[in-house]
Amino acid sequence: MLANSKSIVKNLQLLSLIVIAAIVVASVNIAFAAPLTTPFVSPSSNYAGKASQYAVQFTTASTDTIAKIKMDFPTGTLLTNARVIDVNGIGVGTLSVVGDSLIYTVTSPQSISAGVQITLFVGKIANSPTAAPSNIAITTLNGSDGIIDGPTNGSFTLQTKLGSTLTVVDSTGKVGIGTSTPAEKLDVIGNIRLTGNIVSPNDICIGTCP
């Protein structure tokens, strides 16, 4: 009977050590998770409830093997038909939907250095029906679903008012109003109403410009 008691005590002690080790590992995982840098999100349509493509971009903060990228969309976003259009900076993979989140799973994960820019282009998404400033929380995960970096928010705004669509071209930072393919830092298709001055250290060109 005494031997059995000692065995039970040893088993309990071993179990306690396993639990403590798991807590330590989880704590280390959280402690070393860094925010992703330069997070950027751009829907092709900023109208609430409309079909849209999303460019989701960020720069890695840590060197690690990224197995998954988790993107938490605003509540009400319809993700059922979401499809990958293109990826840059990371290997090919597949999408899955979990609630309001898209999970991009890399087919053959490889180590990615800190400071690498990653872009996911995802289509066939219906925007949230709520017009408001919104965020997509981006998180990188390893093969054990442990957090590498994030979650870090990429911001955008959904509106209901009919008008021009605001699009930021992710690769160059150009802004287009009324166009999804701006040719300059600011490209406006339509009239501009201005109450202040136009100030420029260089020439202002009207008509055909060189």
CATH at residue 85: 2.60.40.2230
Euclidean distance between CA atoms 64 and 206, whole angstroms: 51
Question: pTM score > 0.85 for this model?
Answer: no
Same domain, residue pair 152 and 167: no
Point out the residues of the chain with pLDDT beneath 70. 1-32, 161-173, 178-181, 189-190, 207-208, 210
Q: Which domain holds residue 83?
A: 37-159
- Residue 37's pLDDT is what? 94
In this structure, is residue 25 part of a structural domain? no
Same structural domain, 73 and 168: no
Same domain, 72 and 167: no
Question: Residue 48: which of 160, 125, 133 has the closest Cα?
Answer: 160
- The reply to whether 155 and 110 lie within a common domain is yes
The answer as to whether 21 is a domain residue is no
Report how far residue 23's alpha carbon sits from residue 34's, in angstroms, rounded to the nearest whole number.
Answer: 19
Domain count, the chain: 2
Instruction: Note whether 86 and 60 are same-domain residues.
Output: yes
Q: Is residue 177 part of a domain?
A: yes
181 and 145 co-located in one domain: no
104 and 185 inside one domain: no
Whether residue 79 is found in the same domain as residue 100: yes
- Domain membership of residue 7 (yes or no) is no
**Are both 172 and 105 inside the same structural domain?**
no
Condensed to tens digits (0 to 9), the pLDDT of residues 21-72 reads 444 444 444 445 799 999 999 999 889 999 999 999 999 999 999 999 999 9
Q: What is the pLDDT of residue 85?
A: 95
Q: What local confidence, expressed as pLDDT, does residue 164 receive?
A: 44
- Whether 26 is in a domain gets the answer no
Residue 88 lies in a domain: yes
Query: Within this chain, do residues 86 and 173 fall inside the same structural domain, yes or no?
Result: no
